[in-house]
Structure 1
Amino acid sequence: MKIGEVARETGLSVKAIRYYHDIGLVAAPRGDNGYRSYGRVQLAQLQFVARCKALGFSLEQCATLLALNGSERRTAAEVKAMASEQLGQVRDKLDQLRSLERRLSGLVGGCPGGAGAQCSILDTLNGGVR
């Protein structure tokens, strides 16, 4: 399978697939013509990585999960621990985003807008100093 086809099947960009190959995350053998040849195994691995990335896992975590997926010695506890850690990070980010939303909402709500040059948002961003 050619890289463009793999990109369409996985939803990953050609650039990302090449990068994953270059860093050894997913290896595809090169044919006599010098092009990488992707088979079912590589396609499945790249789809797995795409799903991991969609859940916010880092490339390092993707590599670990990919290795665990292919290991008969893995334990579900290892995988759950990684997913639980990721969930905690997502929850922390959500808390940060909610705080940011409250602050921005306060700024927007406190600004009357209008045609004048006076802007309470810019005043706040300037630390109250004009």
Structure 2
Amino acid sequence: MQIEETETGPLEVWTPAEVEAALEKGEIAVIDVRTPQEFMFEHIEGALLMPMSGFRADRLPSQDGKRLLFYCGSSIRSGKMAQKAMAAGLTPVAHLEGGFANWKAAKMPYIGTDMASGAPKKVTP
């Protein structure tokens, strides 16, 4: 994990392997800040959707011992939304280094779309 210094304080930046391990242990809640269309096409399994366009830190799930981890396509939007969450008093929060593109490049599993039927399907590269 790296730490990025931001205007709202230190922000954790996690690698895909760190996110996958924490997901398996139930230590994080993953928040996808992309558009609903991006999410429907492919997303990290178990992620919750809160698009940047309607982002409200006061409507995020309770942390109850879990860190909130944000992601988007490239990590630009997720970094901004993580900082918004921190500005609203939520800590600790983190975001995925390189976003979903980096997740896929690291060959992590995700939910994709079966192009023949349009149905969701688990993709295990």
TM bucket (normalised to shorter chain) is under 0.3
Quick one: higher RCO (CA 8 Å, sep 6+), 1 or 2?
2
TM-score norm. by structure 1 comes to: 0.20
Larger Rg: 1
TM-score norm. by structure 2 comes to: 0.20
Higher strand share: 2
